[in-house]
Amino acid sequence: MTLLTPNSPTEDLQALDAAHHLHPFTHGDELAAKGARIVTRAEGCWLTDSDGNRILDGMAGLWCVNIGYGRSELADAAHRQMLELPYYNTFFQTSHVPALNLAAKLAELAPGDLNHVFFASSGSEANDTNLRLVRTYWEEKGEPERQVIISRWNAYHGSSVGSGSLGGMKGMHAQGGMPIPGIHHIDQPNWWSEGGYTTPEAFGLERAQALETAILEIGPEKVAAFIAEPIQGAGGVIVPPETYWPEIQRIAKKYGILLIVDEVICGFGRTGNWFASQTYDIQPDIMTVAKGLSSGYQPIGASIVTDEVAGVIANTEFNHGYTYSGHPVACAVALENLRILEEEGIVDRVRDETAPYLKERFESLADHPLVGEVKIVGMMGSLALTPDKATRAPFAEPGTAGLICRERCFANNLIMRHVGDRMVISPPLVISKDEIDTLVDRARKSLDEALAQLKAEGLMRVAAE
């Protein structure tokens, strides 16, 4: 067969894609009818598609391209590493230079005594590791009854059977036999959708105390760990009330359960610090990282664990690992990515300059008639769309307003994702103030157009109680 190229006609690319390529989180027939948008190249914060459109990527790919597209240093690092040692494993008492360097670098960057790293190729794999790791930890500690992991509804921890079960996405659980046993979900700290009857502060405490209630119901001697994202990403950038994390921390300590903090999105500068555990003063026992670790240039994830957890696990042979755990090319690229983030002061610039500017500009959208709540921390933010601001009412047809708004964003050459009727952004950390202006201007234009369309189609209707 003849392979197509980025310069092939869009309809040929779409036809071949539809003929053979199964897409994640996509309705196949709908996509085939419409044709995929084919992205051909990218530079900085900008994508180019096969029709030659230049699109501002307000999502950093899938929350991952923290240093932006087109950094040749990462390509060079991959090239050098492929020539020197393209692959070797880290099983059975072997190691190699990129893996040992990256583990040490992560130990240096991660807060507290998170000093030991188990590598994977994705966030899903790292959370699968965590699932087995915490249970093995308690077995080694002589408390094998501690098997249950508590998580939250509307959490996202990945798409494998283990990590998808840890997550709390009901649409995922409905297909293919998830969740697996031994995982218990509590409610999320989403004040806008679920907490309007009280203040955000009181609601944050209430939703944190749900952890204590669950521990007592299950029996504290049976609970191994609690897993959570500091800020829920795929769930719609749900920023918890300030009262939430201190109370979670208190409860986890009180019952001696392990705290797994999933920093796959929040890590590597997204919240204006290296880790959101620093932003929220959380002390994890285990931290999940992926995405921004390599800025998406290579697939890599990891579990970073404390001295204490590593010490206990070292008492046994942990029968777990992936062929590509600590893949040399992925590690070399991640190291180069971390060097750039650090030496170019990208995280500091986010915290001191661009995130405050983005916050001011993004929050200005609060006056839009379609926008209820605006939430933003660092470089991740969301807008809750509503047909009635005063009552925070949901739409009669949930998800439609979000979808229409996302389509308007596409038409205006802005990538902004929708999660139900929340619009979310997570731009590359290198976005400039000018580009932030472009992002917010295009978002407002898209909101205007979405509002007009919703009105024209009679969709500005409040859901019945």
Question: For ligand PLP, which is the closer residue by CB, 234 or 358?
Answer: 234
Other beta carbons less than 10 A from residue 219's beta carbon: 11
Segment near ligand PLP (CB under 6 A), from 177-185, 261-269, 413-421, 457-465?
Answer: 261-269
Smallest distance from ligand PLP to CB 236, Å? 12
Q: Nearest to residue 208, comparing CAs of 168, 251, 253?
A: 251
Smallest distance from ligand PLP to CB 132, Å? 16
Segment near ligand PLP (CB under 6 A), from 118-126, 144-152, 279-287, 371-379?
Answer: 118-126
Binding of ligand PLP at residue 290 (CB under 6 A)? yes
Smallest distance from ligand PLP to CB 266, Å? 8
Smallest distance from ligand PLP to CB 15, Å? 28
Other beta carbons less than 10 A from residue 348's beta carbon: 14
Question: For ligand PLP, which is the closer residue by CB, 234 or 251?
Answer: 234
Helices (H), 200-327: 200-218, 244-254, 276-279, 307-313
Smallest distance from ligand PLP to CB 290, Å? 5
Contact set for ligand PLP, span 122-161 (CB under 6 A):
122-124, 127, 156-158
Smallest distance from ligand PLP to CB 127, Å? 6
Binding of ligand PLP at residue 265 (CB under 6 A)? yes
Question: For ligand PLP, which is the closer residue by CB, 127 or 165?
Answer: 127
- C-alpha pair distances (Å), 235 with each of 178, 243, 278: 18, 20, 21
Bond prior to 179 in cis (omega within 30° of 0): yes
- Whole-angstrom distance, CA of residue 115 vs CA of residue 103: 8
- Whole-angstrom distance, CA of residue 314 vs CA of residue 102: 20
Binding of ligand PLP at residue 240 (CB under 6 A)? no
Q: Nearest to residue 228, comparing CAs of 265, 202, 268?
A: 265
Smallest distance from ligand PLP to CB 24, Å? 9
- Whole-angstrom distance, CA of residue 405 vs CA of residue 423: 8
The residue with tokens 């965590």 is 130
Give the DSSP H or E segment for 123.
helix 123-140
According to CB under 6 A, which one of 149, 205, 264, 414 is a site residue for ligand PLP? 264
Size of site (CB under 6 A) for ligand PLP: 15
Contact set for ligand PLP, span 33-92 (CB under 6 A):
none
Question: For ligand PLP, which is the closer residue by CB, 162 or 387?
Answer: 162
The residue with tokens 């598609």 is 49
Question: For ligand PLP, which is the closer residue by CB, 152 or 351?
Answer: 152
Contact 130, 260 (CB under 8 A): yes
Q: Nearest to residue 149, comparing CAs of 161, 122, 167?
A: 167
The pattern of x and - marking residues 361 through 400 that bind ligand PLP according to CB under 6 A reads ----------------------------------------
Contact 299, 293 (CB under 8 A): no
Report DSSP state, residue 464.
Answer: P
Helices (H), 157-199: 161-166, 170-173, 191-194
Q: Nearest to residue 340, comparing CAs of 74, 109, 99?
A: 74
Smallest distance from ligand PLP to CB 232, Å? 8
316 three-state secondary structure: coil
Question: For ligand PLP, which is the closer residue by CB, 97 or 169?
Answer: 169
Contact set for ligand PLP, span 197-236 (CB under 6 A):
229, 233-234
Smallest distance from ligand PLP to CB 423, Å? 17
Shortest-Cβ-distance residue relative to ligand PLP: 123
Binding of ligand PLP at residue 272 (CB under 6 A)? no
In sequence order, what E strands does 378-459 have?
380-385, 414-415, 417-419, 422-425
Segment near ligand PLP (CB under 6 A), from 8-16, 189-197, 262-270, 416-424?
Answer: 262-270
Report DSSP state, residue 187.
Answer: -
Question: For ligand PLP, which is the closer residue by CB, 24 or 142?
Answer: 24
Paired tokens of 195: 């907490």
Smallest distance from ligand PLP to CB 72, Å? 24
Question: For ligand PLP, which is the closer residue by CB, 62 or 396?
Answer: 62
Question: For ligand PLP, which is the closer residue by CB, 265 or 374?
Answer: 265
Residues of the shown chain interacting with ligand PLP in the complex, contacts defined by CB under 6 A: 122-124, 127, 156-158, 229, 233-234, 262, 264-265, 290, 301
